[in-house]
Structure 1
Amino acid sequence: MDSRPPNLLLVLLQLTSVIHFCQCARGQSLYTIDTVGLTILPSSPVASGTPVILRCEVSVSHHPSLHLTHIFQFLRYDVPVHSLTTSDTAVEYEINPARAADSGSYECQVTVEEKKKESFVQALTVEGLQSPILNLSKTTLYESEELIATCSAPNEKGALIFRFHQKLRSGAIEVIKQVGPSGNSSETKLVLRKVGDSVLSCNYNIPMIPDAGHSNFSNEVQVIVKGLYISPVMNVIPSTNVYEGDIIEVVCSVVSPTRNVEVYLTKDKSILKQKPVSLSHRMTVQAGDSGELVCKAEWNSVQKENYVTLSVKELFSKPQLTLSLMDIFEGERFTLSCSVTIYSPERISNETIQYSIYRNGVQLIQMDTYSTVASPSQNGNYTCKAAATTLRNNFLVKASETFVVKAKVPVSEPMVSVVGDRLVLGKPFLVHCLSETGSLPITYTLYGPDRQPDVKVVSRPGDKAIFSTPAVQKSSDIPKFLCHARNNVFTQPMISSGHRLEQRTKIIEPVSKPALIVQPNFGYVSEGQDLTLECSVARGTLPVNFTWYHTETQGSLATQTPTGPKGSHIIKGVRGEHSGGYYCESNNQANEVKRSSTVTIGVKWAAWKKGLIAVLCILLIGGLLFFIASKKDVLPFMRKRTGGLSVKSASTKTERLSLTLAEANETANVTPGVMGRSVWSEHVSGSESDDQNSVASPERPEPQYTEVQTKQADPCAVPVMKGTETVYSEVRNSKQEVPEEANGGSVEYVQMNHDTDRHSHHSHHSNHSHHSNHGEQNGHADDTINSSDTNAIDPGDCAV
């Protein structure tokens, strides 16, 4: 029989054990807390002093192989009160005996390994408080004497608040003291102020358990409070109603003294005298001694008092020191007077009063008046005293209040100045008035040209009298500003000097518009020359800053600060780029920039450049003439060529067959009759039948063009006329005449500067206007050669 299945079962069991061991090794949970229960025995509520058991039980499901440990913890109001570690599933916590302080909400918390669980909250109520016990240090005592009382509840728990009560013979109960939380016992000092028999007791409550209420009263202790007869007796001799200067005696004593009794005489909380058992105090009363006298007897903490009101009448008033002037200025005479008012003429007269006046505690005079001239040495604290002898031969002295005399200093001549010591004509400025000496307040008044007076009052040290002043245009107006200073309405004001203002002030006149002058001043300057730009101003405080600008460049050319009102800037070696506009700007300490007018400068070529161009032109013309002269032999042949200009018929009567344009200078053999005008030569038939035949001919012959041979003029002859001669040659066909040439007859037109044809050749001549003007400046008429006439005479063919 095969044994594999049993072996397989064994292997599985071993594998299960290994897996379980591994799981335990990895800390995996093989338990769970099912329930936690809390039970209070006996059930709540319970009476105070009853033993109470709190039972906590836990139920845990776990693997049989585990041995678990349970941590039990009992909590009251979430505060632990008892804990225990055990493997048991139930524990008990006993409260024996249970008191009111044990009341509260309880719960049980169980911790197993890493798991925790709490029970439901259970309430425990313990009813009833223990009756306290009262103990006193003494039961017989004097009124206000201290005793020590102790109230305790030894079986109670927690912080207790104790109260002490006194029950009088009338049955009324008063709380005489309450002590703060201090455990289950309290000791304190009590003071019983009511004389007679009384009963003391105490009780308590627990503030943490307000529902528990107050405890019953403690045992009652009877005490006897004796009266303390130490009340003093006080007498004032001769009377409590006296006159100032009288001598009185105050007697204060205890009739039935006990040991350690002290007697005090006080007035206005000031101790006049202190003695054991009794005292006597003698004094001369003053007007200020009226009031309440207090005689006080003291034994330990017990005090008894007696009061007497003292009334002191004044014989005369307190001296009063008066000044003859309200404000005293140095150099003025003033008088101090001392006086009193008599209240009791039956006991004193004015003749019996003696006066003395003091300064700084030193007697000045034994009179009621003192007169002197104010000066710094007379300043000080003045007082006066009045002394009198009463009918009872009592000597009485009274002093006045201190009177401070400080003579004012007259205001000095004010110094007027411009704020900043700098004034720009045409701009507003500030004026400052200041007197070096003078008592405040000082009133300053500023006067100026064309303005209303302005007033400033300086009342505090550090304040300044500064006036805002409109602009002035002339420096001559500066001395007209005057400042008046006054601090005494009974004297004339001090007046400043306007010339000092002018001397102390730097007056700045803004610059006028600058003028720019250039040298040379023709408006043009040749290249290579120096150009001087001179800028000047007619008015303005020196020094003046001049700045030059060129309109064609950015920035300034130069800046100069000369010692005078004129500055200059030189441009060395003027070039073409220096042409254009120039201007300058002027400015001084007034910071008002003024700009000149713009001057335009043109730059001409230098002389050597003009000479070079002239030489180049001569060389060019010479080369051209040389070229024309070299072509001289070709010109006759070119004149024999037919140069035709095709034109259409001008009318039905006459047809133009050919037009030849030739220009030549008039020679000496030209007929004078035709100089300066146009001559036309036309060969036609003697009647108009030619025209008619020409029109009626069905076939008009085509125009024939030929060259008209004219007499060649000497090209080298000097012309005798100015202007241009134009020769037109036209050949027409005629029935009456046969042309000499094979191509037909010829008609010759000659025009010489004719007025009727000027308009038709205007455009041609306009193209040569510049050349013609140049020719006119040389005194010769230019020859105009038609571009279509190949027979035109070239002046280059003439020998120079």
Structure 2
Amino acid sequence: MDSPPLYLPLLLLTSLLTLWQGAGAQSLFTIDSVTLKLDPSGEVTSGTLMDLNCEVSVSHDQSQPLTHSFNFLRDDVLVYSKNTTEPAVLHQLTPARAANSGTYKCQVIVQDKSKGSSTHRLTVTGLQTPVLQVNSRMPFEGDEVAATCSAPDESGSLLFHFYQDQEKIKQVRATGNSVDTRLELKHAGDKHLRCYFEITMLPAAGRSNNSNTVKVMVEELFITPVMNILPGKDVIEGDIVEIVCRVVNPPPNVAVFLTKDKRVLKTASVSLSHSFRVLAEDSGEYVCKADRGNVQKEAYKSIKVKELFSKPVLVMKPREVFETEFFTLNCYTDRYSHERINISEVKYSLYRNQVLLTSGGNYSATAHPSLNGNYSCQAQAQGRGQTKKIFKNSTQIVLKAKVPVSVPLLSVVGGMLILGKPFQLQCQSDNGSLPITYTLLSPHRQAEFRVVRSPWDLALFNITSIHRSTDIHSFSCKAENNPSQPHMESSGEHLRRTATIIEPVSRPLLTMTPNMGDVAEGENLTLTCTVQRGTPPITYTWYHTKSALPLLSKTTNGMRSSHSVQGVSREHGGGYYCVTNNPSNDSQRSAIVTVGVKLAGWKKGLIAAFCILLTVSLIIIIILVKKCLLPFRRERTVELSVKPASTKTDETLRLTHGEVNEAANVTPGVMGRSVWSDHVSGSESDDQTSEETTEVPVPQYTEVHPQEVDLTRAPVKKGTDTVYSEVRNSNQARFS
């Protein structure tokens, strides 16, 4: 058991002193400095005496010195500790080894304060030369000797290497500075042993020098066995052979083994004898081995055994037989030893499933499932001068009568085919031994072959398409598995009975009732979707071009279906089409039928009545307006305005074309009068005008041709003034 580290009791003592000091009066102090010195410093060789001196400087107010705890650390690991009132402590490495290499530091603790020195690197080069010792200098070959390799002054984990001459024979890891092990010396002769070591945790330290060399004389073991075979190496089956294997003048602890083909036949101490009756398979090489420890010596001898008779051969004809076919079994040997037996002395027996079938070498029968099994032949003979018979068995023959192929059935894979699309046909026989060759026959295509060799294979034939349901009747299939027998052919009845033939729907025709393009509002609209061909059930779906959603979908067995729209309104106008589908999943779409929605009859009558009423109302209004305007029109029919005479004699007469026309449209009584009048005086003209206004009769409209104004005509004069008469036409005269 490992002892506790040395620094643990020291740390405990330091803690107790610190507590004792803390119980007394508190002192005032400060740690000024901590100094570490290595002598010699830096890099030193292994075996050098090293001094590590740590000094501390403390300022305090006590008359007695304070207790200092000195701790020496290598690579931050405590390696030495001491408590003292002295200001310096010396730690010695006597001597320094490679394991002492590292970074050193001194840490000083005074009561509750601590301070460390600067670090110093120490490198110790070189390793101690190890010492090798063995417990025996004259072992036998194959023996093991105890060896010890040690480096007493080294520390740490060491890895030791052992060599025999220039060959490394072992490697051992040790926790201390020495190791004990056993070394096996395999070969005889003078051997030189040595060892060296490495420090596991310091690979940079390298390897040590080789240890001292130990000479060992390995003695040879004379245990090579002697092997004899009686009566000799060449024998005949049935002879007794004895093999003797022994070691002459053996050392202790020797064992011998007799083996053949790595199989141990017998073992004993020092010597053995093995006797047995030989057979042909006993021919070969025998090995006699002498074994002591890890050393083996061997001797080899071969035996050649001649057959008394050869292994029997069982032959079945034909090699493959079908049920109800005739087969024969024949057993024979083709070689035998003439000096020991005659061929007639070899006797045969036939067995089925290891049960005697017949005594003799021949057997014949008609194949049947009850005769299936494993057949074998056994031959026996006894040579001259031999006391026991030799038995030999032939290789077994497995007889399993093949089953003739039955009539194949031709079927559609999946049970359904669609006209115009590819499909598969399967040809299969319920009975028949594999392999079976299937042939698909059709007058419109070349014959195709499929060979089914395993139960998981299927005879599948890919058909491009057929376009008429009656074309399925042209396919047939034949199957054969015995070339000596006629093939079996399907009748096609099963295919016609089981195949479901789907004819895709033709393009539908969409018609409407009423069949005219327009439908009156409120009437019923019927859309009929019709197909010419297709296997039912057929799904009819109606669509309006304004929406992608279907209006209605129906599935029926008929070739047509209808969709009715009750009470057509303006929203029902537009394009319609239908889509048909059946189990072929091949949809067909009709052409678009446009439906126009016209006004209802009562709406047309109402509009016509309203138009007539409006027309009559307008006529009445016009008549009333004319009657109201008639008196006013009479007053303004003819208005003759005569202007007073002007003092100017050079004025010309002005008369518009309209005024001429109005003047022409006068009453018959006035028509003879000229538009030109002589006014005697202004009062007379006024009286005349007034009188005419009150007595003018109802005007009569007569076509008047205006006359051109004669500008050469002399104006009417009164006194010295020239008087012009002006005919004016009123607005009312224009209406007339």
Secondary structure of the residue aligned to 1:407 is: coil
Whether 1:323 and 2:316 are equivalent positions in the alignment is yes
Provide the TM-score with structure 2 as the length reference.
Answer: 0.72
Please show how residues 84-483 of structure 1 align to structure 2 within 5 Å.
84=82, 86=84, 88-96=86-94, 98=95, 105=101, 107-112=103-108, 113=113, 115-124=115-124, 129=129, 134-136=134-136, 143=140, 146=143, 149=146, 151=148, 155-158=152-155, 159=158, 161=160, 163=162, 178=170, 180-182=172-174, 183=176, 186-189=179-182, 203-208=194-199, 210=206, 212-217=208-213, 233-253=226-246, 263-275=256-268, 278-296=271-289, 305-342=298-335, 344-393=337-386, 394-448=388-442, 450-483=444-477
Partner of 2:706: 731
CA distance in 2, matches of 1:43, 1:528: 121
1:162·1:202 contact (CA, 8 Å) conserved in 2?
Answer: no
Secondary structure of the residue aligned to 1:730 is: coil
2:326·2:367 contact (CA, 8 Å) conserved in 1?
Answer: yes
Cα gap change, 1:104/1:578 in structure 2, threshold over 3 Å: closer, same or farther? closer
**Post-superposition offset of 1:463:** 3.1
Q: Give CA deviations for 1:514-543 in whole Å, capped at 9, x if unaligned.
A: 233323334444333222222222211111
Partner of 1:550: 544
Partner of 2:722: none
Task: Select between 447-456 and 634-643 the one with higher mean Cα deviation.
Answer: 634-643
CA distance in 1, matches of 2:266, 2:448: 69
CA distance in 2, matches of 1:366, 1:643: 163
Give 1:149's aligned amino acid. Answer: A
Cα gap change, 1:120/1:584 in structure 2, threshold over 3 Å: closer, same or farther? closer
**Post-superposition offset of 1:286:** 0.8
Secondary structure of the residue aligned to 1:468 is: strand
Q: Give CA deviations for 1:176-200 in whole Å, capped at 9, x if unaligned.
A: 965634445554556677789x8x9
Q: Give CA deviations for 1:327-383 in whole Å, capped at 9, x if unaligned.
A: 433343333333322153343332222222222212223333333333433333222
Secondary structure of the residue aligned to 2:456 is: coil
**Post-superposition offset of 1:565:** 1.5
2:31·2:59 contact (CA, 8 Å) conserved in 1?
Answer: yes
CA distance in 2, matches of 1:156, 1:206: 13
Partner of 1:73: 72
- The equivalent position to 1:705 in structure 2, one of 661, 671, 695, is 661
Please show how residues 549-588 of structure 1 align to structure 2 within 5 Å.
549-551=543-545, 555-588=549-582
**Post-superposition offset of 1:311:** 1.4
CA distance in 2, matches of 1:547, 1:251: 103
CA distance in 2, matches of 1:619, 1:74: 131
1:425·1:508 contact (CA, 8 Å) conserved in 2?
Answer: yes
Task: Select between 292-301 and 540-549 the one with higher mean Cα deviation.
Answer: 292-301
**Post-superposition offset of 1:235:** 3.3
1:34·1:61 contact (CA, 8 Å) conserved in 2?
Answer: no
**Post-superposition offset of 1:425:** 1.3
- The equivalent position to 1:609 in structure 2, one of 578, 603, 606, is 603
Q: Give CA deviations for 1:5-50 in whole Å, capped at 9, x if unaligned.
A: xxxxxxxxxxxxxxxxxxxxxxx9965647532014999557x6x8
CA distance in 1, matches of 2:296, 2:615: 151
Partner of 1:686: none
CA distance in 2, matches of 1:53, 1:388: 97
2:525·2:568 contact (CA, 8 Å) conserved in 1?
Answer: yes
Whether 1:515 and 2:509 are equivalent positions in the alignment is yes
Partner of 2:588: 594
Partner of 1:502: 496
Secondary structure of the residue aligned to 1:440 is: coil
| RMSD over equivalenced CA pairs, Å | 4.5
Partner of 1:54: 51
1:263·1:275 contact (CA, 8 Å) conserved in 2?
Answer: yes
2:143·2:293 contact (CA, 8 Å) conserved in 1?
Answer: no
CA distance in 2, matches of 1:788, 1:242: 171
Cα gap change, 1:789/1:415 in structure 2, threshold over 3 Å: closer, same or farther? farther
**Post-superposition offset of 1:62:** 6.5
Secondary structure of the residue aligned to 1:392 is: coil
CA distance in 2, matches of 1:513, 1:194: 101
Cα gap change, 1:546/1:109 in structure 2, threshold over 3 Å: closer, same or farther? same
Secondary structure of the residue aligned to 1:180 is: strand
Secondary structure of the residue aligned to 1:206 is: strand
CA distance in 2, matches of 1:78, 1:604: 110
Cα gap change, 1:434/1:58 in structure 2, threshold over 3 Å: closer, same or farther? farther
Give 2:196's aligned amino acid. Answer: N
Cα gap change, 1:90/1:620 in structure 2, threshold over 3 Å: closer, same or farther? same
Cα gap change, 1:193/1:421 in structure 2, threshold over 3 Å: closer, same or farther? closer
Provide the TM-score with structure 1 as the length reference.
Answer: 0.67
**Post-superposition offset of 1:618:** 4.7
Task: Select between 286-295 and 258-267 the one with higher mean Cα deviation.
Answer: 258-267
Secondary structure of the residue aligned to 2:300 is: strand
Unpaired segments of 5 or more residues in structure 1? 1-27, 166-172, 645-697, 712-725, 745-786, 792-800
Cα gap change, 1:485/1:87 in structure 2, threshold over 3 Å: closer, same or farther? farther
Task: Select between 436-445 and 348-357 the one with higher mean Cα deviation.
Answer: 436-445
Partner of 2:38: 38
Unpaired segments of 5 or more residues in structure 2? 1-27, 200-204, 639-651, 669-700, 714-724
Give 1:705's aligned amino acid. Answer: N
Cα gap change, 1:115/1:334 in structure 2, threshold over 3 Å: closer, same or farther? farther
Aligned length in residues: 631
1:70·1:89 contact (CA, 8 Å) conserved in 2?
Answer: no
**Post-superposition offset of 1:108:** 2.9
Please show how residues 661-740 of structure 1 align to structure 2 within 5 Å.
702-703=656-657, 704-706=660-662, 707-708=664-665, 729-733=704-708
Secondary structure of the residue aligned to 1:609 is: helix
CA distance in 2, matches of 1:151, 1:157: 15
Cα gap change, 1:40/1:737 in structure 2, threshold over 3 Å: closer, same or farther? closer
1:356·1:368 contact (CA, 8 Å) conserved in 2?
Answer: yes
Percentage of identical aligned residues: 38
CA distance in 2, matches of 1:743, 1:630: 34
2:406·2:431 contact (CA, 8 Å) conserved in 1?
Answer: yes
Secondary structure of the residue aligned to 2:496 is: helix
1:511·1:587 contact (CA, 8 Å) conserved in 2?
Answer: yes
CA distance in 2, matches of 1:476, 1:550: 39
Partner of 1:752: none
**Post-superposition offset of 1:566:** 1.8
CA distance in 2, matches of 1:472, 1:438: 31
Secondary structure of the residue aligned to 1:597 is: coil
